[in-house]
Amino acid sequence: MTSSMNAPLLEVHDIRKIFVDRDYQTPVLKGVNFTLQRGEMVAMLGPSGSGKSTLLSILGTLMRPSSGSFRMLGRELTTLAEKELSDFRNQQIGFIFQYHHLLPDFTALENVMFPHAGRLWRETRAGRERAAMLLERVGLKDRMNYRATRLSGGQKQRVAIARALMNQPALVLADEPTGNLDRENADQAFGLMSEIQRETGTTFLLSTHDRELAERCERRIYIQGGVVVDQPQVVPGRSSLRVIAGDPLSVIDRTQPANAGGDRQRA
Amino acid sequence: MTFDYTMRFDLKVALRYLTSNRLQSALLIGGVAIAVTVFTFNAALINGLAEFQIDRVVGSSSHVTIEPATPRPAVAPAPEGTERLVVSQVALERREQIKQWRSVERIIETLPGVTGVSYNIVGTGLVTRGEQTLPVSLKGVEPARLSAIAPIDQTLVEGEARLGLNDVLIGRKLALDLGIGVGQPIFITSNQGRERTLTVRGLYSTGVDSLDGRLAYVNLDTARVMFDLPEGLTEIELKLADIYAARDIARQLADTTGLEAIAWMDRNQRLREALEGQGNSGNIIKMFTLITIIVGVASALLLTTFRRRPEIGIMRSFGISQRFVLSVFMLQGALIGIIGSLVGCFLGWGFSTLLASAGDGTRRLPVDPSLGQYDVALLLAAAASIAAALWPARAASRIDPVEAISQ
Ligand SMILES: Nc1ncnc2c1ncn2[C@@H]1O[C@H](COP(=O)(O)OP(=O)(O)O)[C@@H](O)[C@H]1O
Ligand SMILES: [Mg+2]
């Protein structure tokens, strides 16, 4: 495996996704190409409805692309069967969502252990110890045996971060992980992720609207018009998409006001 | 806490789901329990009733009865296109009898599972006492085998179970009808015209009207004289350890002896029909209880599946296999089924026991708590619950994670 150590973690080739709803077709991804190196922390930006969640779902093997392919750790994932994808996901991919999605009937510790115990169909001492270590790492040592529902919003998201790391994945996909948190909690959660990324060399790809956080990432990619670009293009004739003072992130800011919940047709 | 490290994790998740929604789980388990209560109580009642009816018939009568072969009249074949009317008359003077009964006795001795044999001469007669004349069945038996078939000695209410050559034992009902008591003489005329005065030695009460009101036991040698049968017998009665082996043994005896051998169930057509009818209606009730379990468990688990869609989606997102999700929901069905049917068996047994006796030891209903088919109920109810879980469990395992998470 030493020869592949320098190979990219993820190579995405011409991924397309068209949602078909009865006779209504929505092309969302129109040929996405990009590469993630091992250990990188990359922010993905793009207006709401641009396909960030769709792309993360595809890369996380939760959804199949309409066409295209991607390789992760040297494995072509688009051709794998559901069972193999599930195993791969369990061992190599960690998910963090905007909503924490903790299992409400389980304690913080059990939530973190779940990906491990669920794979083995059994709880193990090693799994329990790793889960406890992770909870300690995210500052919840004293909340380990709390039911998920008894934790605060910020605490829940930190449990979700620990859970995503449980099986030591190669890649963590985070879909607006701080979108539901206030400034303080968002900073804390993001700080944790970037610390862990530096400590463990885990690769992070996270979508966000928070330009401050995006700037703290090592690299940024943008989804625009169904493709991934390194720099957003200014669309002529659309005043609201004006780049302000040479700051490319302002594009995102304008199209996505702080209170925007979903797709908004721009006037 | 070492327990936690070894318990199957799918079982732990299933248990957690069941305990997190206690009311729903309690209702479900209660539903299964009620169905199983009905199942087992119904089994205890139907089987208890059958046992009661069979006991009454079989306890005091023979299980296999050997009789002389019925001679078939020789008839020339009817010409093509015509029918022949055959009128046959039983010749009274050439009565059917078992002459070679000593050889039959040797065959019977080799049969396993025969617990009692009685070699009899039976016939009809009239008994006269004062002005009263009543028809009776006379049964001549060897005194030593008096109680081989009906437990005459145990049901004796007066006098003694002795059969000397001039003795007769009659039922208490017949004694009442005749207005007679132990030690008194009665005058009997057999259908062969033989007359005899016998002394009433004892009175029995078996509870079976046909015995208590119409049958008189006499010594076999007395019967030989009264029915003009110096050597032969008219029937041989057998009692078996396993009453349900009666047909097999009857067939075997008929084949080896050339005589007619009839099992108790074939002599009691009405009993058989009653038992079959009761059995069938019992089975319909049992079937409905199982359907109730399937419908109840399936609908409740489907609701649970729907409510937990986002959770299942998130599990799938961190690579929990479809098999694991399937197993979690199947286990919920199995746990509900097993716990519910255990409770139901216990309740069914309790109800049966409660209704079987009235406290003073007498029976209220012919319920036999030991015949509740608890093993069958447990097995079927658990199987029904697992089968009911199959559909919701498959639905759960096939949930699309992306769709479920974005709900
Ligand atoms: N299952 C689906 N069926 C049809 N259209 C969908 C589906 N999922 C997402 N879309 C559409 O795809 C587009 C991209 O959605 P999404 O990936 O959620 O964007 P983002 O995460 O960037 O806001 C949106 O227009 C959305 O309406
Ligand atoms: Mg999104």
The pLDDT value given to residue A232: 78
From A96, A262, A254, A66, select the one nearest A172 (Cα to Cα). A96
Of B4, B402, B406, the CB nearest to A123: B4
Q: With CB atoms and an 8 Å threshold, state whether A89 touches B318.
A: yes
Report the nearest-CA residue for atom 4 of ligand 1.
A19
Cβ–Cβ < 8 Å for A78, A157: no
Report the nearest-CA residue for atom 16 of ligand 1.
A51
User: Does residue B320 belong to the interface with chain A, where contact is any CB pair within 8 Å?
Assistant: yes
Domain covering A10-266: architecture? 3-Layer(aba) Sandwich (3.40)
Q: Which ligand is nearest to the CA of A260?
A: 1
Query: CB pairs under 8 A, 24+ apart, for B77-81?
Result: none
Please tell me which residue of chain B has the smallest CA distance to A168: B318
Q: With CB atoms and an 8 Å threshold, state whether B316 touches A62.
A: yes
Count the alpha carbons within 13 Å of B3 in the hemisphere toward its beta carbon. Answer: 3
Separation CA B310–CA B312 (nearest Å): 5
- Chain A contacts in chain B segment 10-29 (CB below 8 A): 10, 12, 16-17, 20
Going by pLDDT thresholds of 50, 70 and 90, the confidence category of residue A41 is very high
Is ligand 1 within 6 A of the CB of residue A19? yes
User: Does residue A98 belong to the interface with chain B, where contact is any CB pair within 8 Å?
Assistant: no
Cβ–Cβ < 8 Å for A161, A192: yes
The pLDDT value given to residue A193: 93
The pLDDT value given to residue A255: 42
Cβ–Cβ < 8 Å for B253, B66: yes
Is ligand 1 within 6 A of the CB of residue A26? yes
The position carrying tokens 């929604």 is B21
Neighbours of ion ligand 2 (CB under 5 A): A 53
The pLDDT value given to residue A39: 92
Q: Which ligand is nearest to the CA of A99?
A: 2
- Of A47 and B75, which is predicted with more confidence? A47
Q: With CB atoms and an 8 Å threshold, state whether A89 touches B317.
A: yes
Cβ–Cβ < 8 Å for A185, A20: no
pTM higher than 0.90: no
User: Does residue A29 belong to the interface with chain B, where contact is any CB pair within 8 Å?
Assistant: no
Q: Which residues of A touch B401 (CB under 8 A)?
A: 62
Residue of A21, A23, A48, A53 with the most ligand 1 atoms within 8 Å of its CB, for mutation: A53
pLDDT per position as a tens digit, A61-119? 999 999 999 999 989 999 999 999 999 999 999 999 989 899 999 999 999 999 999 99
> What is the 3-class SS of chain A, one letter each residue?
CHHHHHCCCEEEEEEEEEEEECCEEEEEEEEEEEEECCCCEEEEECCCCCCHHHHHHHHCCCCCCCEEEEEECCEECCCCCHHHHHHHHHHHEEEECCCCCCCCCCEHHHHHHHHHHHHHCECCHHHHHHHHHHHHHCCCHHHCCCEHHHCCHHHHHHHHHHHHHCCCCCEEEEECCCCCCCHHHHHHHHHHHHHHHHHHCCEEEEECCCHHHHHCCCEEEEEECCEEECCCCCCCCCHHHCCECCECHHHHHHHCCCCCCCCCCCC
Sequence spans of domains, chain B:
9-56+272-405, 95-258
Q: Which residues of B touch A124 (CB under 8 A)?
A: 5
User: Does residue A59 belong to the interface with chain B, where contact is any CB pair within 8 Å?
Assistant: no
The position carrying tokens 């197993």 is B327
Q: Which residues of B touch A82 (CB under 8 A)?
A: 322
From A63, A81, A41, select the one nearest A171 (Cα to Cα). A41
- Chain A contacts in chain B segment 259-318 (CB below 8 A): 310-311, 314-318
Q: With CB atoms and an 8 Å threshold, state whether B310 touches A57.
A: no
Cβ–Cβ < 8 Å for B191, B125: yes
The pLDDT value given to residue A207: 95
User: Does residue A91 belong to the interface with chain B, where contact is any CB pair within 8 Å?
Assistant: yes
The pLDDT value given to residue A234: 67
Going by pLDDT thresholds of 50, 70 and 90, the confidence category of residue A2 is very low
Q: 3-class DSSP state for residue B197?
A: strand
Could you give phi then psi for residue A71, rounded to 5 degrees?
-115, 135
Can you say how many angstroms the Cα of residue B380 is from the centroid of all Cα atoms in its chain? 22
Cβ–Cβ < 8 Å for B189, B86: no
Tokens at B353, concatenated: 């026991």
| CA–CA min distance B26, chain A (Å) | 17
Separation CA A246–CA A168 (nearest Å): 39
Q: With CB atoms and an 8 Å threshold, state whether A125 touches B5.
A: yes
A vs B: CB pairs below 8 A: 85
Cβ–Cβ < 8 Å for B396, B329: yes
Is the pLDDT confidence value at A32 over 80? yes
Residue B212's Cβ-count burial label (10 Å; 0-12, 13-18, 19+) is: buried
Separation CA B13–CA A105 (nearest Å): 9
The pLDDT value given to residue A244: 42
Bin B162: left if φ > 0, else alpha if -120 < ψ < 50, else beta. Answer: beta
Please tell me which residue of chain A has the smallest CA distance to B402: A62
- According to DSSP, the β-strands at B132-141 and B215-219 are parallel
Q: With CB atoms and an 8 Å threshold, state whether B319 touches A90.
A: yes
Q: Which ligand is nearest to the CA of A98?
A: 2
Mean pLDDT of chain A: 86
The pLDDT value given to residue B71: 65
Q: What is the mean pLDDT of residues A121-129?
A: 93
Q: Which residues of A touch B9 (CB under 8 A)?
A: 117-118, 120-123
**Which residues lie across from B117 on neighbouring strands?**
B238
Residue of A19, A173, A224, A266 with the most ligand 1 atoms within 8 Å of its CB, for mutation: A19
Is the pLDDT confidence value at A3 over 60? no
Could you give phi then psi for residue B188, rounded to 5 degrees?
-120, 135
Q: Which residues of A touch B322 (CB under 8 A)?
A: 82-83, 86
A84-104 in b/e form (b: 16+ CB < 10 A) is: ebbebbbebbbbbbbbbbbbe
Is the pLDDT confidence value at A147 over 90? yes
User: Does residue A261 belong to the interface with chain B, where contact is any CB pair within 8 Å?
Assistant: no
CA-CA distances (angstroms) from residue A264 to A177, A254, B306? 21, 12, 30
The position carrying tokens 């780049």 is A243
Is ligand 1 within 6 A of the CB of residue A37? no
Q: Which residues of A touch B317 (CB under 8 A)?
A: 60, 62, 89, 95
The pLDDT value given to residue B1: 44
Sequence spans of domains, chain A:
10-266
Q: Which residues of A touch B403 (CB under 8 A)?
A: none
Going by pLDDT thresholds of 50, 70 and 90, the confidence category of residue A205 is very high
Is the pLDDT confidence value at A247 over 50? no
pLDDT in tens, chain B (407 residues): 444 556 899 999 999 999 998 999 999 999 999 999 999 999 999 988 888 888 777 777 889 999 998 765 566 666 676 766 666 555 544 568 898 888 899 999 998 889 999 999 999 999 988 778 899 999 999 999 998 888 888 889 999 988 999 999 999 999 998 888 999 999 999 999 999 999 999 999 987 777 788 999 999 999 999 999 998 999 999 999 888 899 999 999 999 998 999 998 888 888 888 888 988 999 999 999 999 999 999 999 999 999 999 999 999 999 999 999 999 999 999 999 999 999 999 999 999 998 887 656 566 678 888 888 999 999 999 999 999 999 999 999 999 999 998 86
Tokens at B82, concatenated: 């015509």
Q: What is the mean pLDDT of residues A130-139?
A: 95
- According to DSSP, the β-strands at A67-72 and A171-175 are unpaired
Q: Which atom of ligand 1 is nearest to the CA of A262?
A: 23
Best of B18, B317, B325 to disrupt the A interface by mutation (most A CBs within 10 Å)? B317
User: Does residue B243 belong to the interface with chain A, where contact is any CB pair within 8 Å?
Assistant: no
Count of beta carbons in the 10 Å neighbourhood of residue A32: 26
From A45-59, A128-142, B82-96, B320-334, the region with the lowest mean pLDDT: B82-96
| CA-based end-to-end distance of chain B | 36
Is ligand 1 within 6 A of the CB of residue A226? no
Is the pLDDT confidence value at A259 over 50? no
Q: Which atom of ligand 1 is nearest to the CA of A175?
A: 21
